[in-house]
Amino acid sequence: MATTPARAEEADAVLRRLMTEHQSDPYPLFARLRELDPVHRSSMGKFWVLTRYDDVQKILKDKRFVRHFEDFHQRNSGTDVAAKRSFVESQRRWLIFSNPPEYMAKRAVYNSAIFNRSRVMELRPLITSLADELLTSAAERGEIDIVGELGYQLTIKVMGHILGLPGGTDIQPFIDWAAAVGPTFEPMVDESVLRTADKAMDMLNDFLGDLIKQRRGGTGEDLLSRSTAAMEAGTLTEEEVLANAGLLYIAGFETTTHFLGNAVYSLLRHRDQWDHFTSDPAGLVDGAVEELLRFESSVQAEPPHRIATEDIELPTATIPAGDAVVPLMGAANRDPERFPDPDRLDITRKDVRPLSFGGGLHVCIGQHLARLEANIVLVELARRFPGLQLIDEEPQWIGGITARGMRRLKVRLK
């Protein structure tokens, strides 16, 4: 059924709110957008927005959609990508903007180095030790900020280990750099955001560039050494090694940190679910993590949109060749046609399969690591502090339509 002009106009108004206002609860707006026009062509940036689970899943897996760096930048910021600026030049070489066949060879470097499931599982002792150390220290104070004192401290150190950073590296600059780069994935980015990202990228590139030079000709197993070896073998260029080291570092801790905060907040706001989880943390954690990814993902929309390479039929619309598509995973994960009673958190829900990590060839490379870190942290919290209580009852949410997280989440350790 064709959408009426009035419904399309209202859908645009809802979408504009999601893009320009911080939402403590975006899900009613996602639901309204899905009700008004589930396959919506926005008049703001001439792109399509999808909100239903089946449509989003199809787009994520369809190889007829590709990533296009120049189109992404032009739609998001109107920026002339020919302009020489450090952020644009780094982002151009990010793995997430690569397409087959080159994409598969480049991604294989990172998969073989660390991001396949078996290699990630080898990190369990390290992650468990870090979680134990952080929670033991916090127990003496009786409280902890899940975001700043647990999430960032753990995930940045894990990514530092993966990349091969020197021990004792100050983590605060990485938090600041991630905060500067993250907003560039939101639609309608203004010039001030790009200038801030430029400065952050310059500093990150300087830091990582020195380390990459030190790895040349080495035989280490860390990710910088492995990617430098791939550069010398001709699989990656020096610019790609540097750019993707920065991308993987930032993406490897920022989204997981915010998911940890979202997960703990969701469980404690639904006390029956937390109490049930503490009855058998190890037995319930795998299902709980999947349900929490569905319920409150830290990634609500796929950051770089996709471009249709031919006309593509969906049940209610045809995406013309050349048009951009933005899959809203946060909306799809709450689709009532796929998940009965979608706004209810149920850690025993069956057949969850959230779309929070994307899908298809560009499925998130860090999904196994994120799941493992969440698994360990949630089990340790439940095992040691079953009486855990929120101090921040109304946290300050950050992010737009793409990212979702909190500036902090203080809890009382009981």
Pair 109, 234: CB distance under 8 Å: no
Average pLDDT over residues 153-161: 94
Q: What is the pLDDT of residues 76-129, one digit of tens each?
A: 655 554 455 677 778 888 888 899 988 998 899 888 877 889 999 999 999 999
Which pTM was predicted? 0.94
CA distances from 220 to 91, 125, 164, 213, 216 (A): 26, 20, 9, 13, 10
The backbone torsions φ and ψ at residue 268, rounded to the nearest 5 degrees and listed phi first, read -75, -25
Q: What is the pLDDT of residues 238-285, one digit of tens each?
A: 999 999 998 888 888 999 999 999 999 999 999 999 999 999 999 999
Residue 111: other Cβ atoms inside 10 A: 14
Domain ranges of the chain: 5-412
pLDDT, residue 298, reads 96
pLDDT, residue 88, reads 76
CA terminus-to-terminus distance, the chain = 54
**What is the average pLDDT value for the chain, to the nearest integer?**
90
Is it the case that residue 237 has pLDDT exceeding 80?
yes
Average pLDDT over residues 328-332: 97
Distance CA 119, CA 254 (A): 21
Q: Comparing 40 with 74, which gets the higher pLDDT? A: 40
Average pLDDT over residues 32-40: 96
- Listed residue (104, 131, 60, 209) closest to 383, CA to CA: 131
- The domain 5-412 is placed in CATH, from the list 3.20.20.140, 3.40.640.10, 1.10.630.10, 3.40.50.2000, at 1.10.630.10
- For the chain, give the percent of residues with pLDDT over 70: 96
- Listed residue (71, 67, 85) closest to 201, CA to CA: 85
Q: Comparing 300 with 82, which gets the higher pLDDT? A: 300
pLDDT, residue 49, reads 95
Which region among 1-5, 48-52, 175-179 has the lowest average model confidence (pLDDT)?
Answer: 1-5
| Residue 184's pLDDT band (cuts 50, 70, 90) | confident
